Amino acid sequence: MTGGRETMTDQTVVTSASLGLSDDAISASVVPIDSLVHPHVVRRLAGLSSGRATSAASSPEADATMEFAVSVARGLSDHPRRLESRFLYDAQGSDLFERICEQPEYYLTRTEASILSAAASDIAEKTGDVALVELGSGSSIKTRLLLDAYVERFGSARYTPVDVSSSALSVAETEIAAHCPQVDFDSVHGTYDDVFPRLEALSPCMLLFLGSTVGNLDHVETAAFWSRVATHLKPGDFCLLGVDTGEDPDVLHAAYNDAAGHSAAFTCNVFARMNRELGSSLDMDAIDHVARYVPHLRRVEIFGRFLKDQDIEIEPLGHTLRVSRGEMILTEVSRKFRLRQLVPYLCTFGLVARHVYADRDRRVAVLLLERT
Ligand code: AVI
Choose which residue among 102, 256, 302, 303 to substitute to test ligand 1 binding: the one with the highest number of ligand atoms within 8 A of its C-beta: 256
CA–centroid distance, 266 to ligand 1, in Å, is 10
* CB atoms near residue 136 (< 10 Å): 19
For the CA of 136, the closest atom of ligand 1 is 1
Q: Is the CB of 213 under 6 A from ligand 1?
A: yes
Q: Is the CB of 138 under 6 A from ligand 1?
A: no
**Spatial CA neighbour of 367 closest among 343, 331, 337, 334:** 343
Q: Is the CB of 107 under 6 A from ligand 1?
A: no
Q: Where in the chain is the domain with CATH 3.40.50.150?
A: 11-30+106-246+336-371
For the CA of 332, the closest atom of ligand 1 is 10
CA–centroid distance, 135 to ligand 1, in Å, is 15
**Spatial CA neighbour of 200 closest among 163, 167, 160, 173:** 160
3-state helix, strand, coil in the chain (%, to 5): 45, 25, 30
C-alpha span between 268 and 330 (Å, rounded): 12
Question: Right CATH number for 11-30+106-246+336-371 from 3.40.1260.10, 3.40.50.620, 3.20.20.70, 3.40.50.150?
Answer: 3.40.50.150
Q: Is the CB of 332 under 6 A from ligand 1?
A: yes
CA–centroid distance, 334 to ligand 1, in Å, is 6
Q: Is the CB of 304 under 6 A from ligand 1?
A: no
Write down the pLDDT at residue 139: 82
CA–centroid distance, 249 to ligand 1, in Å, is 16
Q: Is the CB of 100 under 6 A from ligand 1?
A: yes
C-alpha span between 201 and 92 (Å, rounded): 34
* CB atoms near residue 227 (< 10 Å): 13
List the chain residues with pLDDT less than 70. Answer: 1-28, 45-57
Q: Is the CB of 109 under 6 A from ligand 1?
A: no
Q: Is the CB of 203 under 6 A from ligand 1?
A: no
Q: Provide CB contacts within 8 A for 24, sequence distance 6+.
A: none
Write down the pLDDT at residue 2: 37
Write down the pLDDT at residue 279: 98
Write down the pLDDT at residue 13: 43
The torsion angle over the Cα atoms of residues 248, 95, 74 and 336, rounded to 10 degrees, is: -20
C-alpha span between 317 and 305 (Å, rounded): 24
Q: Is the CB of 140 under 6 A from ligand 1?
A: no
C-alpha span between 312 and 323 (Å, rounded): 7
Q: Is the CB of 334 under 6 A from ligand 1?
A: yes
CA–centroid distance, 297 to ligand 1, in Å, is 17
C-alpha span between 213 and 335 (Å, rounded): 9
Choose which residue among 89, 99, 100, 139 to substitute to test ligand 1 binding: the one with the highest number of ligand atoms within 8 A of its C-beta: 100
